[in-house]
A and B are shown apart, each in its own frame.
Chain A
Amino acid sequence: MRTVQLSQLSVNAEAEVQDLAGPPQFRNRLFSLGITPRSRLVLVRRMPLGGPLEIEVRGTRLAIRRHDADRVWVCVVG
């Protein structure tokens, strides 16, 4: 069980969210988008040129900026 930042996850890896850092607004937004502790997500792809990451969480696809993804701590499963 390795805990890493979401931005460090490799493509197609599935992970479970451990903890969310950052200001309340940010965490609250993540909650309403379905990114809560213990939720499962998959890193679908990284956009070129250091752009956002595409993730799949609770059946929807989201793009999240890398530096925002730094604040999401996940642990790789499987």
Chain B
Amino acid sequence: MRVALVGNPNVGKTTLFNALTGAHQEVANWPGTTVEYIIGKVRSGAVGDLIELVDLPGTYALTAYARDELVTRNFLLYEPYDAVIVVVNAASLERNLFLALEVLELTPRVVVALNMVDVAEDQGITVDAAALSRRLGVPVVPTVAARGVGLTELVAWMERIGGREVVPINTWVVPYSEELREVLDPLASQLAAAVPGPGIAPGAGDSRARGLTVSPVVAGAQPAAGVGRFRPEWMALRLLQGDEEVTREVRVIPQGQAAVQLALSCCAQQAGVQVELGNQALALEPAVLERLRAQHEEFEMRIADAKYNHIANLLADCVRRDPLAKQTFSERLDKVLLHRFWGYPAMAVVFFAAFWLSFVASAPLSDWVGNGMGWLGQLVAKGLAAVGAPAYVQSLTVDGVFAGVGAVLSFVPYMAIFFAIYQLLQDSGYMARASVLVDRLMQGIGLHGKGFFALVSAYGCNVPAMAATRVMENHRDRLLANLVIPFIPCNARLGVMAVMTAAFFPGTRGAFVMMALILISLGVVAGSAMLYRRTVLPTDPAPLLIELPSYHVPSVRNILIPTWHRVWMFISRIWMFLIWATLLTWALTYFPMGAPVGQSYAAQVGHWLESVGRWYGFDWRLMIAILFGFVAKETTLSTLGVLYGAGTDGSLGHLLTQAMTPLVAFTYLVVYMLYVPCLSTVIQMRRESGSWRWTAAGIIVNVAVAFGLGLLLERVGMVFGLQI
């Protein structure tokens, strides 16, 4: 049995999902899209079989307009399921019930989870669940997902509804006005005739629900595939609203064409357009089509209006409000956090603490992991030496295998702490506010306010930063953020930059050089974002409205489970790539056997690359370091150390200053800072963008900008005879 969780964003779907499934979950990654849904299993005693629960992204409606709504809509329209749990927030029912009605119009197999009744109570709102259930015609179960209240009852209803014990429901869930019904009724009956019923006999046209008399439906009522299993009423509504996708789907069912034409002619009639509607209705003149579109929209608005009217009536009967005199906690907190002056310093403090914890406090942990791996490697090497294994096997083990595993594992502390904090900020309700505060500034460079945190956190590590772009609903906004994030130097790059800067520009000059570098990266981020917006990623007409939820303290479980998921997804995706890449690097520098580094395959590749490097004054070692840095930027210093023959005594800085001029070093730093960060980022970018093509484009632009800007700086520097 498969049950889908649907609801507005932030109503507690995931909390409910986690509470119901516990540890029995698997993450389904759906190819082609960046937004995945999660499937978990609920063990139910009664039915004896497993209920498969699907956690869908939050949505406000089931229209096909906004891309973020499509995941949920497509699931409900085209995937098989036995029941839907619509999770609603008891504290803001008026808005939440809109989606509930949309789902009810689509399928009667619905259980409403009236969540957050505790929050509602705190705000003086009491909801009569039984009355609401009677009026809606489906079970309504009060829950507090965060504390596991009401779950047993919810599961029981899930089983009953999912087991085809369907509650008869009104033909029209919403009592539409007479005028609308005059159009809708004939359409619906036409569709009902065209579609061989989804197994649920529509109730008579009376306007009142019949209550919760559960009646088993005739056997063999398996819903048909595709659009044929929808309620005719729903299809009628969609045709009238001009839903292109549904219209297309209806056309292909036998006699569907007639229904589509009926809808069009209704529309034409209402719009006062005189047209002969043949089979090629779409070949109409633009002006006429325009008027038809406007009429569809008009219907859409009237339908939405009718829903809200119905909701107002429902609420008048089922909700009691005892207005509270005192300000809510959220309001008082917002007085400070969204204050026109204090808002920004407060945000700076919150973010600073967040990043300090994730990237500074976790550094020792990363070191431990790295050192631990090194130590283990040495141990194994000793063992190998003792049994007389050949030198290349020893080297392979230590510099290849263990270095590779270490590179993967050293990411884990960053990721774990970062994601935990990220989840905390997100869950508490602060992130939405921070996004709103910076939205204006971000818009200046074509980015979205919600991307701010991701961009700032990219200074820590680009990989989780890319994952953090997922809060943006709009695909283009997300893509844009992913394309510019690699220009932001992460911890690892900053570390290498700091070492080289210190070697070439001692004292205060170093600080200025670092500042200059950071400013260059900011400029490149802003410039490239604007350029992408102007060219390939024009702003979507879809507006971005952000809901500001009440603040609250998130539960530990709600933080740990997603954190674990994200870290695990990262490791499971990356380890193969990283280990192969490390092995390849090792092999290139080790072979041909017995040759000094200067004659290794790596050196040969380096000499070949030097033809490009010559333009910049980079020798083959620097080019190889750039190439190998792609595996993981952390390795750059050790690669340079090996290539320049520096010991562990810190002589690298000295050797470097002898090998190039400060201008070349500065150019190198710019190139190094801007070009593709590392393999992990590329893989993450592929994952977030959902396309290799965009990923490749991003990388090409990245490399081109890095080397282009480097060349420009170098040449300009030469012209001015700059000696920085």
Contacts and interface: CB of A to CB of B under 8 A. Distances in A.
B297 A24 contact: yes
A49 B343 CA distance: 11
Contacts of A68: 543, 545
B301 interface: yes
Given A24-B65, A34-B308, A58 B92 contact: yes
Nearest to B312: A58
B546 to A, nearest CB: 4
B1 interface: no
Interface stretch (B104-112, B435-443, B598-606, B669-677): B435-443
A10 interface: no
Given A24-B297, A29-B543, A62-B548, A48 B61 contact: no
Interface string A28-59: 11111110111100000101111110100111
Contacts of B341: 48
B95 interface: yes
Contact of A61 (B99, B300, B443, B548): B548
Interface residues of B, number: 42
A32 B439 contact: no
Interface in B526-580: 541-549
B92 A32 contact: no
Given A50-B440, A52-B440, A59-B92, A26 B61 contact: no
Nearest to A71: B543
Given A32-B99, A54-B338, A62-B545, A27 B301 contact: yes
B66 A36 contact: no
Interface in A60-77: 60-65, 68
Contacts of B542: 25-26, 29
Contacts of B308: 34, 36, 39, 58
A23 interface: yes
Nearest to B438: A51
A45 B338 contact: yes
A38 B308 CA distance: 10
A33 B60 contact: yes
Contacts of B441: 49
B601 to A, nearest CB: 55
Nearest to B548: A61
* Minimum-distance CB pairs A-B, first 8: A32-B61, A32-B60, A48-B340, A31-B304, A58-B94, A51-B440, A61-B548, A59-B92
Interface of A: 22-34, 36-39, 45, 47-52, 54, 57-65, 68
17 contacts: A23-B541, A25-B543, A26-B542, A28-B61, A28-B300, A29-B542, A29-B545, A33-B60, A34-B94, A45-B334, A47-B338, A51-B436, A51-B440, A58-B94, A60-B92, A61-B548, A65-B443
Given A28-B61, A34-B308, 7 more contacts: A24-B293, A29-B65, A32-B63, A48-B344, A59-B94, A61-B549, A64-B545
